[in-house]
Amino acid sequence: MRDYKMEAALAAVEFIKENQTIGLGAGTTIFHLTDLLCSNPGRAKTLTFVSSSFKTRNYLYKKGLKIQSSAFTENLDIYFDGCDQFDKALNALKSGGGIHTSEKVLASMATEFILIGDDGKSVAALDHTYPLVIEILPEALPLVLSKIAFLYPESNVTLRMSSEKDGALISDNGNLLADIKFPVLPPLAELNVSIKMIPGIVEHSLFYGLATKAVIAGKQGITMMEPQRS
């Protein structure tokens, strides 16, 4: 059985040059990409890596690679990450993990943001299959819920709860996380701005207009995509 994630990683690794600062997201494809880089120790030692994922940072550390905090990084040459869904404009939803705020910071500081993964993530248009995840300042929760109910009365907001302790799931930044489910996803340009404008929302999981390329593996092989934006 073909490993599409490995195939995508094999194609993506060709974009990386010596002495670059590389941002990495999370997931199996990212681990494959790391392993491929380590197969060329000479090149790997010239690279600096930044990641918002604890699992990825730990994996990089075990591989003996140079890791740098995003707090001391002004620019990334490339940021690689996967997603739950992406459309022809390479707008993406990243609804798992709850670290989308930090991931979006890295994507925004990168000269190139390359989505990698299998072709099952590609859709003609983003839809309501996955929720929009928001990170919320705890003191703003009542206000945020009220504003969302006013703007999108047919939506349903669910606070993420911890499975390991009593209470809400807390983000790496000490904030609350909630899923917004829509019966029909609103227009992306409107959604991107309207949610951000609610006081108390730190960030949301729609990556609108950020990706510059996608490297996608499927039955037909590797597809390199660039955003089709009007």
The reported pTM is 0.94
SS3 78: strand
CATH number of domain containing 149: 3.30.70.260
DSSP letters spanning 80-149:
EE--SEE-TT--EE--STT-HHHHHHHHHHEEEEEEEEEGGGB-SS--TTSPEEEEE-GGGHHHHHHHHH
Q: How confident is the model at residue 60 (pLDDT cuts 50, 70, 90)?
A: very high
Count of structural domains within the chain: 2
Q: How confident is the model at residue 164 (pLDDT cuts 50, 70, 90)?
A: confident
Domain assignment present for 55: yes
Cα distance between residue 83 and residue 26, in whole Å:
10
Q: State the pLDDT at residue 97.
A: 82
pLDDT tens for 72-98 read: 999 999 999 999 999 999 999 998 888
Is the per-residue pLDDT at 111 higher than 80? Answer: yes
Residues 13 and 99 in one domain: yes
